[in-house]
A = this chain, B = another copy of it.
C-alpha cells in the first residue's frame, strides 16, 4: 500500500489562497443567520467611488485563508445539521469495499482510502428523500434556500419580483426554486452522503452552470493529480465535476475526491463496472452494475450518467453514420446488446435503478450514448430515437421520486442547435438539458474548446442548464492542469454570454463594472473583475510592464 505520507507529500500542488484581487465573503439568507453562502468580493479603486463587486463563487474553502485545508480530514460537512432532521438512518451494514472496486490493484500499488470520517446515510424508511420529493410535497429544504441566495448573489429583495413571461425572475425566492424543482425543470444534485457539498441548482431559469471532467486513466494516474485538478477546476469556476476515472484505485481516489469536494460530483458508474470485468463489455451484468451504483451512492456521488436510452433496436440506426457511436458509455452498451442480442440491462432494470438512486438522492444524468460524433451525424434518427427514450425514462424517474437531467450532444452545426433544445424540452418535459458543447465544426482539433464554446453559448442561451466543458486536448490526449483551466474559463465565457442573452438580472453587473473600469483606465480593477485576473495581468505586463501603465 502506498503510504499516506507519500500521498501527502504529493499534495503540495493543491492550490489555496484567494484569487488575485478578491476575497471570500459569506452572506446569510434572510431569517437564516447560521447559513453561510460563499461569494467572492472584488473591491474597486477608491477613485471609482464604486461598491465592491460580488460574484458567484464555486471554489469552496480552498480560497478562504481563514480555513486550514487538510485533505486527510476532508471538508467541513456543512449539510449535516440539515440532513439530521430528515429521518435518514445511519446505514448499519454499509457495503464493504471489494478488491474489484480498485480494479484488483496489488497491495503495494493500493492507494489508501481517505481517512476522513464518513458515516453512510440511507433514505430507507424516510418518507421524503429527494429534493424532488420535498418540492412536490410543498416543502422548502435548506438546499433550496441556499441556492436561492446564491443565485441572487446575496442581494436582498427590493420591491416586488418581476418576471418577463417565462424568463428569469428579477429575484429568486426559495419558493420559486421549490416550484422549479417540483416541475422537473431544475435539480439540486445533492447526495445525502455528500454533506460537504455547497448546493447548486441546475435549471434553465437559473444561472447557466458548467461541468469539468477530470479522472485518472490507465496511462497517468495519481491521487494528488486528481485532487489538484478538481481544486484547480473549481477555483476557475467549474460548478460541478465529473470523475471519469478508468484506471486503478478508482474507488479510493473517488473517496478522496468526494470528501474534499464542495461541488456536486458526477460519475459514469458503467466505467467502473467495466473495470471490474477487466474491460470486457460482454461480461457486464445487472448485478455487477447494481452493486457499483450502491458502492458509489454510499460514497456520496451526486449524479450518475446512466445510458439507459441506448436500446437494442437503436443500434442499427447508427450503421450508416460517418462516426458511428462515439460515446464511451453508448458504445459499451451497444456492444453488450449486440453480443447478447438482448435489450439493455439498464433499460430493463430502470425501475430498480431509480429506487437505488432515490434512496440517496443521486440525480439522474440520462446519458446520450448515441450522440453525434461529427457534423455529418448531427440530428439524425439514432440521436433522436434515443432522446425519445430518454423522455420516457424521465417520466419513470420522476414518478419514482428522482431528480433528472438529460445529456445532449456533441457535434452540431449552428443551424441545427436550436432544434436540439426544442426537441429535448418537448420530449423530456422541460427536464434540465446538460450538453457537451456542441462542437460547431470538426476541423479544428487542438481548438475544440473554441469550436464547442460557440455551440455551448448558443445552446445555453436557448435554455441548456449546464454545459460540459471541452478542453484543447479533446480528441487528442488527456488534459493537463493548463488545459483544465483553459477549458473552464472558456466555458465560463459561454455560460456568462448565455446568462447575458437570457437577461439574467445579476449577470450584466459585472460586465458593466469592468467596462467602466476599462473606460477609466483603472487597469487593476479591470484585471480583478476578469474571469482570469492572472492571465489578464500577465498579458498586459508583456508589452507594458511598467507599473504606471496599470494605474494611468
Residues of A within 8 A of B (CB): 219-220, 322-324, 373-377, 413-415, 440-447, 449-451, 453-454, 457-458, 461, 472-473, 475-478, 480, 489-490, 492-494, 496-498, 500-503, 508, 510-512, 514-516, 518-519, 526-527, 529-532, 535-536, 538-540, 542-544
Within 8 Å CB of A542, what residues of B?
473, 477, 480
Please determine whether B453 and A500 come into contact, CB atoms closer than 8 angstroms. Answer: no
User: In the complex, given contacts A377-B515, A445-B536, what are 6 additional A-B residue pairs having Cβ atoms less than 8 angstroms apart?
Assistant: A373-B515, A441-B500, A443-B531, A451-B497, A473-B539, A477-B539
Please determine whether A450 and B490 come into contact, CB atoms closer than 8 angstroms. Answer: yes
The docked-state distance in angstroms from the alpha carbon of A496 to that of B413 is: 10
Q: What's the minimum C-beta distance from A484 to chain B, rounded to whole angstroms?
A: 14
Please determine whether A518 and B475 come into contact, CB atoms closer than 8 angstroms. Answer: yes
Output the residue of A449, A472, A498, A543 with the most chain B CB within 10 A. A543
Please determine whether A516 and B322 come into contact, CB atoms closer than 8 angstroms. Answer: yes
Please determine whether A498 and B531 come into contact, CB atoms closer than 8 angstroms. Answer: no
Please determine whether A515 and B375 come into contact, CB atoms closer than 8 angstroms. Answer: yes
Q: Is the interface of A mostly helix, strand, loop or mixed?
A: helix
Please determine whether B375 and A508 come into contact, CB atoms closer than 8 angstroms. Answer: yes
Please determine whether B511 and A447 come into contact, CB atoms closer than 8 angstroms. Answer: no
Within 8 Å CB of A415, what residues of B?
461, 500-503
Q: Can you name 25 A-B residue pairings with CB atoms under 8 Å?
A: A373-B515, A374-B512, A375-B508, A375-B515, A376-B515, A413-B497, A413-B501, A414-B498, A414-B500, A414-B501, A441-B496, A443-B493, A443-B511, A444-B492, A444-B493, A444-B496, A445-B530, A446-B532, A446-B535, A447-B531, A454-B497, A475-B518, A476-B536, A477-B542, A477-B543
Please determine whether A515 and B324 come into contact, CB atoms closer than 8 angstroms. Answer: no
Q: Known contacts A454-B453, A454-B457, A478-B543; is A514 also within 8 Å of B443 by CB? A: yes
The docked-state distance in angstroms from the alpha carbon of A543 to that of B217 is: 12
Q: What's the minimum C-beta distance from A446 to chain B, rounded to whole angstroms?
A: 4
Q: What's the minimum C-beta distance from A436 to chain B, rounded to whole angstroms?
A: 16
Within 8 Å CB of A376, what residues of B?
508, 511-512, 515
Closest B residue to A375 using CB positions: B511
Q: What's the minimum C-beta distance from A235 to chain B, rounded to whole angstroms?
A: 16
Within 8 Å CB of A220, what residues of B?
543
Q: Which 8 A-B pairs have the closest CB atoms?
A: A477-B543, A374-B515, A414-B501, A446-B535, A440-B497, A415-B501, A442-B511, A476-B539
Closest B residue to A457 using CB positions: B454
Please determine whether B441 and A530 come into contact, CB atoms closer than 8 angstroms. Answer: no
Q: What's the minimum C-beta distance from A380 to chain B, rounded to whole angstroms?
A: 13
The docked-state distance in angstroms from the alpha carbon of A451 to that of B536 is: 14
The docked-state distance in angstroms from the alpha carbon of A181 to that of B449 is: 37
Please determine whether B447 and A544 come into contact, CB atoms closer than 8 angstroms. Answer: no
Please determine whether A519 and B322 come into contact, CB atoms closer than 8 angstroms. Answer: yes
Output the residue of A413, A472, A540 with the most chain B CB within 10 A. A413
Closest B residue to A217 using CB positions: B543
The docked-state distance in angstroms from the alpha carbon of A446 to that of B536 is: 5
Q: What's the minimum C-beta distance from A473 to chain B, rounded to whole angstroms?
A: 6
The docked-state distance in angstroms from the alpha carbon of A121 to that of B353 is: 79
Please determine whether B511 and A441 come into contact, CB atoms closer than 8 angstroms. Answer: yes
The docked-state distance in angstroms from the alpha carbon of A512 to that of B413 is: 12
Please determine whether A444 and B477 come into contact, CB atoms closer than 8 angstroms. Answer: no
